[in-house]
Amino acid sequence: MHSFPEPALARVAQMTEAAAADPARAIAFQGAPGCNSHRAACEYAPDCVPLPCFSFEDALDAVKEGRADRAMIPIENSENGRVADIHFLLPESGLSIIGEHFLEIRYAIMGLTEGPFEAAYSHPQALGQTRHYLRERGITPMSYADTAGAAAFVKEQGDPRACAVSPALAADLYDLKIVEDNVADADDNTTRFVVLARDPLDVAVLAGRPAMTTFIFEVKNIPAALYKALGGFATNGVNMTKLESYQVGASFAASTFYADIEGAPGDQRVDQAMAELAFHCKYVRLLGSYAQARKRG
């Protein structure tokens, strides 16, 4: 908690105390109160008790240790791609994905004064989503741990030349002036979040419902292994909506792949495709099956 800027500490302490009193309703998120993950948690479960955590690891640990029932974690943005490190953190956490949520993203430029500003503080994702806006105005982007924390940091520093790129709610929480609202480089700026819990969702509850399954895998280090591994999804009519590669370790001999497909185990097409995938892989690890929050395609 004490890594947050001073203006956020009292509110973080209050929310942490509330979550400790009712961990079954607590949803952990990364960032200071007022950040987009806070908004996403409250949209996803309006009756939840939001628990702010300084880092993604802290939010995941809160679930593993029983201080929160679930965690709300951003995984990708429509403008700026995947959230850094998430592909490593999710498998390492040992938690399961039980849901997803899509959040429309709008930022405000806020500061102690109405500017002009020389520097803008925010999370790298937010800076990437507003890079054209900042460049056109000659404002230098400065990375901070989260969007609302950046607003608290600007308040703490007291520098009239600095502003924050943050959800409008943060201006009220940290007593800053909104200079411009609804700032975004694209009108359809959207972030996809996943919801994680200690136990996987029973796939039986997904029967007859549009579902998603997320998994990671590493193919055998032989020619055309990836082509053969993915062929089962085509032949069985399973739609793969996401496939990304990333390196684990320093050998660079083989990539690990992160994938989303439509459907869930128990569906014969999915079961056959996953069996064919496993035949061509060193390992396949399911991260979770869950209901679709938005229709694909």
Out of 54, 117, 153, 193, the active site residue is: 193
> Could you say which of 130, 191, 214, 256 is catalytic?
191
Catalytic annotation present for 191: yes
Residue 193 is among the residues annotated as catalytic for this protein? yes
State the DSSP string of the chain.
-TTS-HHHHHHHHHHHHHHHH-GGGEEEEESSTTSHHHHHHHHH-TT-EEEEESSHHHHHHHHHTTS-SEEEEEEEETTTEEPTTHHHHHHHH--EEEEEEEEE--EEEEESSS---SEEEE-HHHHHHTHHHHHHTTPEEEE-S-HHHHHHHHHHHT-TTEEEEE-THHHHHHT-EEEEEEE-SSTT-EEEEEEEESSPPPGGGGTTS-EEEEEEEEE-SSTTHHHHHHHHHHHTTPPEEEEEEE--SS--SS-EEEEEEES-TTSHHHHHHHHHHHHTEEEEEEEEEEE-SS---
Between CA 209 and CA 191 the distance in angstroms is 23
Give catalytic residues, as residue numbers. Answer: 191, 193
